[in-house]
Structure formats: C-alpha cells, structure tokens
Chains A and B, each alone.
Chain A
Amino acid sequence: MATNLQFIKSQSGTDVSTLSVTDCFNADYDVYAIYLTKIDTTQDNSSRIRLLDSGGSVISASEYDTANLRLRANAGFEELRYTGQTYFQYMISIRQQNYDGAGLMMYVFNPYDSGSYTFIQYQETSYSSNYLGYKSIGVHKSAETITGFQILNTAGDYQSVGFSVYGVK
C-alpha cells in the first residue's frame, strides 16, 4: 500500500465571501493534510474556519476553541485564546494587495469519527502590515461526523481562494 499523502480533492472559488470544501473527509482516513493553493482578497481581512456536518451544513454553534501564537517580524509575539466561538479564529491574515499571497498547511484529526471531537493544527505565513505568521491549534467540541470545512472572511470578498485536501495514509 502507498504510505503517503493521497490526493482527495481541490476546490476553489472567485469573488466569494466564503468557500465550502465539501465531502473531503471520509471513513478512509483519520488524518488529513490541507494546503492553501491561492488567496487574493478585496480588503484587509482575517480568515476563519468552520466545519460542515454530515449533511454538508455549516456548523455555526459556539463549539470552537482556538489558541494562536501570532508571530510578527516587527514586534513581539502575541498569544491569542478563544473558547466557545462560532468558528476557528485567525486562520490567515492578509492585506488587500493582489501580489502578496500566503501559505498554509493544516492537519485535521478524526473529522469523520462520530464519537470523537475534531482537532486541527495549522501553521500559516502571510503578509499583513508587516510580516505575520500563526501557529495554531483548535478543537471542535462536539462529537459528530464532519465532512468538510468552510473558510470565511471578516471583510470583503475573496477574489480567489482555493485548497487541496489529502488523506494521510
């Protein structure tokens, strides 16, 4: 058997305020690796993440906890903690300039297991006012089957945004 990253799907959108990556988690894998493939925005913004339930609906209940370490090149680092939120906080911060781009790699653990919470960890790199990066962890505190995720903006639209999802085998 192959022991590797196994491609599941890519999904992208243009001129949207949210992008849902649907049906990317299944019973074949316990761990998933997700890469940001592109991102351009119309305003300075921070992106957040929500999960999709077994029916593909966005979960917007106050069930998300996140802890971020914000790394800055020009100032001291910041610890950010959130409990009982309606999304995972601070996935990406980006300013309104088409040429910046960003990078993100996120692991998702146990999303399809109906008896387990879903855990995430991610490391992000982007450029907003000065250089920013985030090292983050999160938990969705509801034991249920998760089939996908959604990225959403705090302001403006994504001119383009996309992800590729892999199973870790």
Chain B
Amino acid sequence: MSNQGIFDVNSIVDLKHHDQWSTLGQLELIETQTATSGSADIMTVNFESIQESKYNVHFLTFSEGQSNGYQYLSLRFGNDSTYTTSGYKYARQQMLNTTFAEDRSTSQSTIRIGSYVYRGENAYAYIYNIGDSSKYTFATSQMVGNAANYVGCASSFGSGVLPTASSFNNIQILRTNSVGWYGFKASLYGIRYS
C-alpha cells in the first residue's frame, strides 16, 4: 500500500490492516554480551543495568555456548556486583540422550538452568519480580545442548527461586566449574508493561 508520507488516522488504520505500520514491540532489548571463538575462558556473564524498576518480567537468552569442560549453566542474583551465593532452590526435568532424570535441590549456590554439557549450549529463562523488595525472585527456564562430544542431545526445563523478599539489580549467568566459555551470545530483555 502506498501513501504520500502523511499519516492521518485513516492511513494508519489502513497501513495496520496491510501489516505495513511498524510499531514498537514490547520485548525490549536491555543488553547483549558476546564472546567469540578464541576468547579466553569466561566464567561469568554479568548484567548489571537490568532496569529492575521498569520491568517485572525479564527474558534472558543464552546461545552458542562453547567450552572445553562440562558444567551446568546457572543463574545468580545480586546487588551492585555482589551476588548471593546460597539459599537457592530449583527443580528441573532433564531429557538426555541416555535417560530422563529429575534434578532438584532445596539448598544451592545457584539456580541451575542447564544440563551437564560443554558445547552447543542454548537456553532461555524468565525472571520474575527481581526488582520487587516484597517478593521472592523466581525463574523458569528451558535449555538444549549437545551431550558429550556431539553424540546426542541434552535438554531440560525447570523452575527456581531465591526465597528472600528482596530486590536485586544484577543477574549473573555462570558455570559452576573452573572451565569457562570461549564463545557465547547472551541477551537480556524486559517485557514492557509486565
């Protein structure tokens, strides 16, 4: 549909009808961090400007994770670069190339969101109420990656909580092992009006 560059109400309605009126979406990118192949081992990915007072729900993506050692992809929450290292609870269903298994804990140093892999690590997580000092901070997640050395698939989904009524302004993705990533792409989004 064409127009003369002047948008009155009827033009906007017509453009919307033809799917040609571009509007901002409500999945709003806050920050992306990347490491490319050849980077030194990176142990943590920290998001420290998360706009926690603007968004009640955050959406976190992690893709193309590459490492030389097996480990679980995990989350922590913190304030001003100091991260809480105890008291997390989680429950995850794992779907591995060899078996399905439950993974759960009532006292952990992280919320585990990934299976035990080291290549092809991809995951997303929703984080709820992180900026609300009267609520617990919750997370749900889903992950898929390569089991062992590209011999199968490893996947999981689960939920977790830091059962402390506090607000946090930092989100950390980490591996709980001494071997870090040499490649990844991680993005944090806010869900507007959540």
Contacts and interface: CB of A to CB of B under 8 A. Distances in A.
Interface string B78-119: 000000000001111100000000101110000000000000
Contacts of A135: 93, 157
A118 B181 CA distance: 42
Interface stretch (A5-13, A51-59, A147-155): A5-13
B163 A127 contact: yes
Interface residues of B, number: 43
Interface string A95-106: 000111111010
Nearest to B158: A71
A56 B59 CA distance: 31
Nearest to B128: A103
A131 to B, nearest CB: 4
B189 to A, nearest CB: 9
Contacts of A38: 56
Interface of A: 1-7, 10, 35-38, 69, 71-77, 98-103, 105, 123-127, 130-133, 135, 164, 166, 169
Interface string B1-23: 00000000000000000011111
Interface in B108-138: 126-129, 132, 134-136, 138
A130 B91 CA distance: 11
B57 interface: yes
A101 B138 contact: yes
Given A77-B93, A105-B140, A131-B91, A4 B159 contact: no
B157 A125 contact: no
Contacts of A74: 104, 106
Main secondary structure of the interface of B (DSSP, over half): strand
A133 B25 contact: no
Given A101-B136, A103-B139, A131-B159, A73 B25 contact: no
A123 B159 CA distance: 8
B134 A125 contact: no
Contacts of A5: 25-27, 191
A77 B25 contact: no
29 contacts: A2-B22, A2-B25, A3-B25, A4-B27, A6-B23, A6-B26, A7-B26, A37-B57, A71-B91, A71-B158, A73-B105, A76-B102, A77-B102, A98-B134, A101-B128, A103-B57, A103-B126, A105-B57, A125-B128, A125-B139, A127-B163, A130-B89, A131-B89, A131-B106, A131-B160, A133-B140, A135-B93, A166-B26, A169-B25
